[in-house]
Structures are given as C-alpha cells and as structure tokens.
Amino acid sequence: MHAAHIYSFHQPTAMIITYQGGAFFKVQFGDITLAVNPVSKDSKKFKASRFGADVALVSANDPDMNGVDQVSFGEKQAFIAQGPGEYEVKDVFIKGFKSETKYGMPDDESRINTIYTVSLEGMNLCFLGALSTKELPSEVAESIDDIDILFVPIGAPGTLLPADAAKLAVKLEPKLVIPVYFGDNAALKAFLKESGEEAQKSQDKLTIKKKDLEGKEGDVMVLEAQA
C-alpha cells in the first residue's frame, strides 16, 4: 500500500488597488498594505484617510503627499521611504529614483520628486509621483523596465500635461496604466483621448493577479477616488 502524496500549490494572491484622491493610492496584497503618497491632515485640497500600512512611500514633501502619520495605526507602524534609495520590507522590494516636480511650487522653482518602483510577488509597479518633466532622467530611464502597472500624474499644476503623460506612458511600455488625475476630470478626459481610451469607464478598485496582465499593452484603467 502506497502512502498518499499531498501536493500544495502556491495560489497567487490578488492585488487590490484603490485610489484615495490626489496622488494617494492604497495597495493591498495578502496581509501587506502599502500607502503611496498619503494625504496629510494639513492638506487643503484632499481628504486624509486613516488606516494602518506596512510601508508608506512619499514622492514629494508636500501636505498633499506626506501624511505618513495617517497610515501608522494600531499594530501597523509603517516603514517610511521618503526619497531615492533601495528598500526591502517584508518581501517588498522598492527603489526610489530622483526626479523633479513643480507641484505646489512657484513657476521658477522645483523640488525633489521621487519615482518609486515596487516589486512584490512577481509584479512590478511604478509610481511617477508628481513628476513635472516629460523626459525622465537618463539614470531613471535606464533603470526602469518591465513595468506591469504604471501610475502617471496628470491634471495638476506642476505635473505632466495630459499629452506628455500619454507619450511617456507609451515610451515606458507598461502593461497597464493608471492615471493620477488629482480630481481634474478635464485633464483625465484629455489623457484618455490621447491614449485612444475615450470609452474607458472608472472603477471603484482594481483587483488583479499577475496572470490578468497577460496580453495587455498599455491598457488604461481609471480608478474613482474613494476619499
């Protein structure tokens, strides 16, 4: 009599992405929660959301994006990445690249904007933050490839114009593009037109697994702000 063999297979976990307004996204993957550019309670434009995160990413030191105190809650005390560098937290691999933004700045000034790539469970996410330059710094362009989901900013003073955002998205060749539209529906409409996705309807959230990205080439997904 032969003993029965029991095989266990790793079941891919679905990633759940919700848009919280401004440049703020919540990414959940199993028991891991990421807060990307959380809104501060000092923001005069967007509503802060309070929840516990394992990791908080801050692209620019602005009240619309630096509300890290809002995402350490209960047992979850967020690891905070606030600039260029390499980070590893709970099997989440993060790289931050220096760029610039004019968001919230006078026309003749700019400040550091950090572009983040996040790799977990075989999926690669790229958050452009509040990027204002339509060409990426050469170091960044050479380091970023094989993007599964790209988050591109449009529609806020000091960030990309819709046409420039659409061109950059094409150049980076992601499988899926999520516009970060700062509440500006006119800019969103212009971006969708430039991308040939005018019929795209917004969704409350994106629930996705790696296999769901197969065959996608720059598809656009619009998420409705939940905050």
Helix (H) / strand (E) containing 162? helix 162-172
Distances (CA, A) of 198 to 72, 190, 201, 220: 38, 9, 9, 10
The CATH number of 15-223 is 3.60.15.10
Give the pLDDT of the chain (227 residues) as one tens digit per residue: 455 544 444 456 899 999 999 999 999 999 999 999 999 999 999 999 899 999 999 999 999 999 999 998 888 889 999 999 999 998 899 999 999 999 999 988 999 999 999 998 889 999 999 999 999 988 888 888 899 999 999 989 999 999 999 999 999 999 999 999 988 899 999 999 999 988 888 999 999 999 999 999 999 999 999 86
Run of H or E residues at 139: helix 138-143
Predicted model pTM: 0.92
| Residue (of 42, 32, 35) closest to 18 by Cα position | 35
